[in-house]
Structures are given as structure tokens and as C-alpha cells.
Amino acid sequence: LAQSLWALFTSSLAISLVFAVIPFCRDVKVLASVMALAGLAMGCIDTVANMQLVRMYQKDSAVFLQVLHFFVGFGALLSPLIADPFLSEANCLPANSTANATSRNHLFHVSRVLGQHHVEAKPWSNQTFPGLPPKDGAGTRVSYAFWIMALINLPVPMAVLMLLSKERLLTCCPQRRPLLLSADELALETQPPEKEDPSSLPPKFQSHPGHEDLFSCCQRKNLRGAPYSFFAIHITAALVLFMTDGLTGAYSAFVYSYAVEKPLSVGHKVAGYLPSLFWGFITLGRLLSIPISSRMKPATMVFINVVGVVVTFLVLLIFSYNVVFLFVGTASLGLFLSSTFPSMLAYTEDSLRYKGCATTVLVTGAGVGEMVLQMLVGSIFQAQGSYSFLVCGVIFGCLAFTFYILLLFFHRIHPGLPSVPTQDRSIGMENAESYQR
């Protein structure tokens, strides 16, 4: 637990520092280094938070994972609203009055891909050169957006520091008994005395699952003798999230460019609402998934989500000339993709008896997919045209469904091992079954 809390404290504090430093970065290499540090910190928070929720709540973790990812989506929806008042309405695209038409079209296409839908097709002679300050001080207030986000995030490391203090995990505090009893100590105090059988009593120094070493699941001794289905479950689950999270990133990045291209030719202002609609319904879907996950199995939720993604892309492909279907499909896709990650994580960890090992693999697979599929879809989009955007969605959705079927197969043949001692299993069975129905 100490390692996890210190990792959360360091990473969350690093994010606040990064946001505070970004406005002072005048060189792209320095900015890239700072953003890389932010990415490492966010990845650490993502992994540790999911892992600790799984280890602590186990059968009940599905609900808590949905809550966690709802706030992730809510933050992604809220941060652009905070930054919007500080963004300049002026056109800040680099251009040259003597540039040829090809370079102008290329730059304007880049602006659309980046989602800068406020940019209008104005005469290029009125634009500023890169490196020159905008006219009338336009764009100079964007630094306040980063500083506000840094201040908003600052209570997070402070809260983690308070938790470290209450758990007596700070080196400056005397090492006293933790405020919270571990599960084994609590069981010893509440369980009626029985005959002292060493095999039936919990080890004295065995820690709570949340207090285990952060990297204990990666040790070779814990993987020795594992069946091949153990590794197959990790791989197929990571591939499912590789596809679904990759689709989330690719769709939000290129749905604007797809809408403004032929055959739809949606106006830039109207098309700009599509990414907001997509992320808004992702946040709504995660909110709705909180009560649903307490009544439905994670495996069922993932199945509905993956099938819904494939069906939505097929409908968008069939009605590719209809703008209304594009908006409806965008909202539908956001709902189906919203709870895929937490549900898949809960299902995979349930298959592997809540050791927390799958969390790192799944988070890594999702992150790699979000990076790779955006690059792949962008390359295909530029080479083959806008129609390929939906074709890629159908293909990746079908691949996600195929990998999920393989995951169900490997889970079925995976040898089940008791995750808790026999005397404890009956205590939590009723509560566990209520969450799995």
C-alpha cells in the first residue's frame, strides 16, 4: 500500500507541476519532454488506481471501477470547458502570403484534423508568421487555462498525502499501528476460536491484498507453473482493449475530419460538436454503468458493448450519406465504448482471482492501442479518403469481438483456483453472487 500511495502522490504532484510549467516552454523539444513526463505520470495513476481498487474490493470492484472511470470521463469533458474562455478566436495558423495553393490546403487540412473548428477560411495574407506574437494580444491568456488546471489538480496529491499520514506511512511520523486493520487481523478478532490448525489459520505476517508489493505479480516465482490459459487470458483481454480504446481515440480524433469531407460536407462549426457529443455520451454511459454494473455481470456488459460498437459502425457505414445518423451513431458509439474498459478489467481480474496482475497488462494494451490505431487510421484516412474511416471502424470492431470470443474460450478452459480459504468463501459468496447477477 505504501508503494502505491507514494506512486499516486508523486504522479499527481508531477501533473500539477507539468501544467504549471507548460506555458513557459518556448522550445518544442522541451515541451515534448514535459508532455512525456505528464504521460508517464498519468499512466502510473491509471495503473495503480485500477490495481488497488481490484485488490481491495475484488468481487465488488466492478462498481468502483465504473465510478473511477466516470470521473475520468467527467474530467475529460470538463477540462476543455475550463480552457475555452482563454482560447483565442483569431486564426493562429502559420502561413505565408507567397505560399502556393498546395501548402495552404495542406495546412488547412491539418487544422481540421487537429479539431480547430473555429478556424475559418480567411485570406492568408492576414495571417501571422510562426513565432510572431498574435495581434492585439490574442492567445496570450491561454497560460491561465494551464495554471487553473494545475491548481484544480493540486488537492489530489494533498489528499493522498493526508492518507499517507493517517496510515502512518510517512517517514517523518512514528511507526505506529495502522488505523485500519488488515483483513486477516479482522478475521482473527471476529472469528470464534477453533482448534489451532496451522493450515487453516491465516499467516501472521500475510498482508492485505492492497498492502502487497506493487510489482509482486511480475515476479517470476509467481508465474512459474501457470497454465497457458493464464497467459492467453492476459493477451486476449489486452487485445480487446487495444481495439476498443484505440477506436475511442481514433474516432474522437478523426470524426470531425470525416464530417467535413465529402460526401457529408458538414459545416465546420456543426462538425465541431461531434467530438464533444462523443465524449459527453462516454461520460453519461459511465454514469449509467455504475448502477447497471451492480446487477449485471461484467462479461455480459463487455459483450453488449462490443456488439454495439460493431452494429453502430455498420449502421454508420450503410447510412454514410446521412448527417442525422452520424450524430446518432456518435452518441451510440460513446455509450457502448464508455464502460468497456472497467467492465473488461473487472471480468479479467475475476477470471484470474483478483491478483491484480492483469491490470498492468490491460492498461498497457489500451494505451498502446490508443496510440497505434490513431496513427494507423490517420494514415489510411489521408491515403484512401473519408470512407475508409468507417471501414476501419468496422474492421477493428470485428477484431475486438473476435478477441473477446477467444477470451471467453480461454476463461472456460482455465483451471479455477480458490481465491479465498474455504472457511471464508461462504461468508462472501452471497454478496459476490448479488454483484454477478
Give domain status of residue 368, yes or no: yes
Q: Which three cell numbers stand for residue 262?
A: 465529402
Q: Is the pLDDT of residue 99 over 60?
A: no
Q: 278, 408, 400, 271: which is closest to 338 by C-alpha?
A: 278
**Alpha-carbon gap, residue 349 to 65, rounded angstroms:** 12
Q: What is the pLDDT of residue 63?
A: 84
Q: Are residues 238 and 306 in the same domain?
A: yes
Whole-model pTM over 0.85: no
Q: Is the pLDDT of residue 190 over 70?
A: no
Phi-psi region of 353 (alpha: psi -120 to 50; beta: other; left: phi over 0): left
Q: Are residues 149 and 251 in the same domain?
A: no
400: CB partners within 8 A, 6+ apart: 239, 240, 243, 244, 247, 306, 309, 310
Q: Are residues 282 and 351 in the same domain?
A: yes
pLDDT tier at 132 (50, 70, 90 boundaries)? very low
Q: What is the pLDDT of residue 285?
A: 92
Work out the average pLDDT over 289-309: 93
pLDDT tier at 330 (50, 70, 90 boundaries)? very high
Q: Is the pLDDT of residue 318 over 90?
A: yes
Question: Are 359 and 50 spatial neighbours (Cβ–Cβ below 8 Å)?
Answer: yes
Q: Are residues 102 and 155 in the same domain?
A: no
Q: Are residues 161 and 274 in the same domain?
A: no
Give domain status of residue 285, yes or no: yes
Q: Are residues 334 and 298 in the same domain?
A: yes
Q: Are residues 134 and 157 in the same domain?
A: no
Q: Are residues 101 and 154 in the same domain?
A: no
Q: Are residues 38 and 157 in the same domain?
A: yes
Give domain status of residue 194, yes or no: no
Give domain status of residue 434, yes or no: no
Give domain status of residue 349, yes or no: yes
Q: Are residues 336 and 365 in the same domain?
A: yes
| CATH code for the domain of 248 | 1.20.1250.20
Work out the average pLDDT over 217-237: 75
Domain count of the chain? 3
Query: DSSP labels for 319-349?
Result: TTT-HHHHHHHHHHHHHHHHTHHHHHHHHHH
**Residues 16, 160, 363: CA angle, nearest 5 degrees:** 75
Q: Are residues 18 and 104 in the same domain?
A: no
Q: Are residues 4 and 101 in the same domain?
A: no
Q: 236, 272, 242, 202: which is closest to 372 by C-alpha?
A: 242
User: DSSP class of residue 210?
Assistant: G
Work out the average pLDDT over 240-261: 93
Domain that holds residue 101: 88-119+130-138
